[in-house]
Amino acid sequence: MAVRIGVLALQGAFAEHERALAQCGAQVCEIRARRDLMGIQGLVLPGGESTVMGTLLQEDGLLIPLRDLCRGGMPVLATCAGMILLAADLPDFALQPRLGVLDISVRRNAFGRQQESFTTFLQVRTFCASAADRVEAVFIRAPLVERAGTGVEVLACLDGHSVAVLGGSMLALSFHPELTEDLRFHAWLVRRAAVWARAPRQSEK
Ligand code: GLN
């Protein structure tokens, strides 16, 4: 049976993630309310505006259930604003509502304004097959990781700044793979979610 992946669809670039996930063979479900979480085996936190998304998560009663799912080990792919939602530490916007489940310190809008958006090619550890292999990375008012905590692996850097990290089963990217044809990150999520779906949970043991 196809893996069921929930895509947070309150705001932002969720449709592009849905297309990529469908191409990877996943069954996609849009998350707008608590009841949409039923049966999902993986999660995408898309790009958009993290302040708006955080506020809506709180208002729609999704903040705590999503936090619990992340803490419970559900595989997550978070891009751009999604990375900000995961960050435990957000020094310049400490009060901004978010999940705060990944031990990283994040700086928002670290690469400048919308007009300064750019595309580059990055070597991403574990996702690139050879030293010459690169991932096309689109940066749009992107955040960067200023500090990665214990157990959080930095997978890619740009100008010495961390822009892709993996902590447990949470993969957080500063850039937008859903805006390219590169399906590696979505395929990773689908694979991880399939494994996670088969693993016995504490409550089922
Ligand atoms: N700048 C946005 C924020 O801080 C993120 C931009 C994006 O997701 N493309 O929330």
Residue whose C-alpha is closest to residue 192's, from 37, 77, 100: 77
In whole angstroms, what is the distance from residue 170 CA to residue 162 CA?
Answer: 15
Question: Of 24, 29, 70, 80, which residue is the catalytic one?
Answer: 80
182 Cα–ligand 1 center, Å: 21
Instruction: Tell me if residue 186 is catalytic.
Output: no
113 Cα–ligand 1 center, Å: 10
User: 104-145: per-residue pLDDT in tens?
Assistant: 999 999 987 766 799 999 999 999 999 899 999 999 999 999
53 Cα–ligand 1 center, Å: 10
Query: CATH number, domain at 82?
Result: 3.40.50.880
Provide the residue range defining the domain that includes 100: 4-200
Query: How many Å separate Cα 154 from the centre of its chain?
Result: 14
Query: Model-level pTM?
Result: 0.96
Q: Which atom of ligand 1 is nearest to the CA of 81?
A: 8
As for ligand 1, residues whose beta carbon falls within 6 Å of it are 47-50, 80-81, 84, 108-109, 140-141
Query: For a substitution probing ligand 1, which of 52, 56, 80, 107 has the most ligand atoms within 8 Å of its CB?
Result: 80
Answer whether residue 161 is part of any domain. Answer: yes
Answer whether residue 205 is part of any domain. Answer: no
Instruction: Tell me if residue 157 is catalytic.
Output: no
Q: Residue 188: pLDDT band by 50, 70, 90 thresholds?
A: very high
Question: Of 178, 181, 186, 204, which residue is the catalytic one?
Answer: 178
At residue 125, the pLDDT reads 97
Give the mean pLDDT of 28-46.
97
Tally of domains in the chain:
1
Give the mean pLDDT of 53-61.
97
Answer whether residue 34 is part of any domain. Answer: yes
Answer whether residue 103 is part of any domain. Answer: yes
Q: What is the mean pLDDT of the chain?
A: 95
Instruction: Tell me if residue 128 is catalytic.
Output: no
Q: Which atom of ligand 1 is nearest to the CA of 109?
A: 1
Give the mean pLDDT of 83-100.
97
Question: Of 17, 29, 176, 186, which residue is the catalytic one?
Answer: 176
Answer whether residue 155 is part of any domain. Answer: yes
Give the mean pLDDT of 93-110.
97
At residue 1, the pLDDT reads 81
In whole angstroms, what is the distance from residue 132 CA to residue 174 CA?
Answer: 21
As beta bridge partners, residue 141 has: none
130 Cα–ligand 1 center, Å: 30
Residue nearest to atom 5 of ligand 1 (CA): 81
Answer whether residue 83 is part of any domain. Answer: yes
